[in-house]
Amino acid sequence: MSPLRRPLLPLAATVALGASLAAQCPSYTPYVPPPEFGGPRPTGASTPSPAAPQPAQPSSPSTGAPAAPRPTGGPVTGGPARPVSPRGPVGGARPGITGPRGFPISFERGATSKDRLQVDWMHPVPPKGDAGERTRVAGPLPLDAALDLLWEGDDGRPLLVLRECTSCEGTDAALLSRSLKNDKTMLLTKWFRTVRLPAHITERGHPFHMVFRGYRTFDKGWPHFFLLADKGSRPVVFDGNQTQSKLWKGMYGVLEQRYGKNPERAVKKWLSLLDRYDALDARRAQLREELLEERAEKGPSSSRAKKLSKKLAELEADKAKVTAAEQKVRDLGLLKSAAAK
């Protein structure tokens, strides 16, 4: 057979043969197939297309493919540009956005709002004997007696009763969302008497065992917490994994039984007042800082220091107006419970 008509070896066999010859003879240069026949493609900057010219991209050190384009979001300064956050600059108020009277709007709650956004938990204790020591009761208290202790005093608000478990002890995880804002939930709790019971009330001898065991509707399993309009009402139960919308619906339903005004409308107004508190607190902090600097540089009697002091006084007057509006919003008009009628 003519050498020109010999059958060609497969590509893989050709490469393997070249590697074998290179091992036997150091001066042999192995055959490298071109890219169109499966060989490696050359690295380096790609040639821009005449129709749509593009800047050359550096090759990837591991694969030789063009590197991914750098993210945009700011001017090129020699380093990677910071991505633009959908919420604006991180860690403060958005520049150029102001509230009433030019106060800067902060997207972090101020001290006044944070003081409102807490659950006021109460931790009831079992009855005490004449000597001041806890009595040893033969079993748990009856349900009516236990509820009387939870409603101890003149606080006639509906109940929110939460029992802790070993995994959420000391936290509000069963009540609050783990991924969403809880401002509305925490404000709604202000119209409840919020009671927290320890995890070991599951023990039959615990004085408050019947607070959960006493309801026949809990025979299939105890809820994590429940709402109670009054002693004769049916509990509204939650397992700790409820959605916010389901929780708010249940809270609104109980509050409407015990209050004369609409709680849904009131909580919306209250949230807007918290925003005003935030703007006032941010402005107050700014003015106080400017005042301290002015007094340090030119003394407390400078004209600018007096102007800043006047602005601070006006700010306190504005905050007093917001507080007065808040007190009206919080007063929903508590009605007498069915048991007290």
Tokens representing residue 258 in the block: 């015990």
Is 19 part of any domain?
Answer: no
* 251-266 confidence digits (pLDDT tens): 999 999 999 999 999 9
Is 29 part of any domain?
Answer: no
The domain boundary, picked from 225, 241, 259, lies at 259
* 236-295 confidence digits (pLDDT tens): 999 999 999 999 999 999 999 999 999 999 999 999 999 999 999 999 999 999 999 999
**What is the DSSP annotation of 269-332?**
HHHHHHHHHHHHHHHHHHHHHHHHHHHHHH-TTSHHHHHHHHHHHHHHHHHHHHHHHHHHHH--
| Residues 257 and 233: beta-carbon distance below 8 Å | yes
Is 59 part of any domain?
Answer: no
Is 162 part of any domain?
Answer: yes
Is 193 part of any domain?
Answer: yes
* 118-139 confidence digits (pLDDT tens): 999 999 988 765 444 445 555 7
Q: How far apart are CA 65 and CA 42, in angstroms?
A: 9
The domain boundary, picked from 219, 239, 259, lies at 259
Confidence of residue 34 (pLDDT cuts 50, 70, 90): low
226 three-state secondary structure: strand
pLDDT recorded at residue 129: 53
Q: Rounded to two decimals, what is the model's pTM?
A: 0.67
Q: How many residues does the chain have?
A: 341
pLDDT at position 39 over 90: no
Q: How far is CA 146 from the centre of its chain?
A: 35
Q: How far apart are CA 322 and CA 277, in angstroms?
A: 7
| Residues 193 and 155: beta-carbon distance below 8 Å | yes
Q: Same structural domain for residues 290 and 314? A: yes
Domain of 322, in residue numbers: 264-330
Is 106 part of any domain?
Answer: no
Q: Same structural domain for residues 269 and 253? A: no
- For the chain, what is the radius of gyration of the CA atoms? 36
Q: Same structural domain for residues 241 and 275? A: no
Q: How far apart are CA 125 and CA 133, in angstroms?
A: 11
Q: Same structural domain for residues 196 and 148? A: yes
Contacts 24+ apart (CB under 8 A), 174-177: 174/224, 174/225, 174/238, 174/240, 175/119, 175/225, 175/240, 175/247, 177/244
Q: What is the CATH number of the domain that holds 221?
A: 3.40.30
* 138-171 confidence digits (pLDDT tens): 579 999 999 999 998 889 999 999 999 988 888 8
Is 105 part of any domain?
Answer: no
Q: Same structural domain for residues 134 and 200? A: yes
Angle 174-252-189 from CA coordinates, rounded to 5°: 45
Q: Same structural domain for residues 169 and 151? A: yes
Q: Same structural domain for residues 126 and 233? A: yes
142 sits in the region (left: phi over 0; alpha: psi -120 to 50; else beta) called beta
Percentage of the chain lying above the pLDDT 90 cut? 56
Q: Same structural domain for residues 253 and 317? A: no
Q: Same structural domain for residues 274 and 303? A: yes
* 171-229 confidence digits (pLDDT tens): 899 999 988 999 999 999 999 999 999 999 999 999 999 999 999 999 889 999 999 99
The domain boundary, picked from 213, 239, 259, lies at 259
pLDDT recorded at residue 338: 74
107 three-state secondary structure: coil
pLDDT recorded at residue 170: 85
Q: Same structural domain for residues 149 and 245? A: yes
Is 175 part of any domain?
Answer: yes
Q: Same structural domain for residues 188 and 115? A: yes
- In total, how many domains does the chain have? 2
Q: Same structural domain for residues 185 and 281? A: no
pLDDT recorded at residue 185: 98
| Residues 250 and 226: beta-carbon distance below 8 Å | no
